[in-house]
Amino acid sequence: MRHIPAIGTALISLLLLSACNTIEGVGRDIESAGDAIGDAAEDNK
């Protein structure tokens, strides 16, 4: 029974770490899209 809290803590930690990784990836995608829009705007001046 002593292992259950440790397993629960490990699972929560894994979920939080994977969520941070996903959010970072979305941030990079949004930044890339913003750069593409900025480049297109510069090209059409």
Question: What does the block give as tokens for 3?
Answer: 């292992």
CA distance 5 to 15: 15
Neighbours of 37 (CB within 10 A): 10
pLDDT at 35 (0 to 100) = 92
Quote the pLDDT of residue 1. 61
pLDDT digit string (tens) for 1-45? Answer: 677 888 888 888 887 777 777 777 888 888 988 999 999 888 887
**Phi and psi at residue 4, to the nearest 5°:** -60, -50
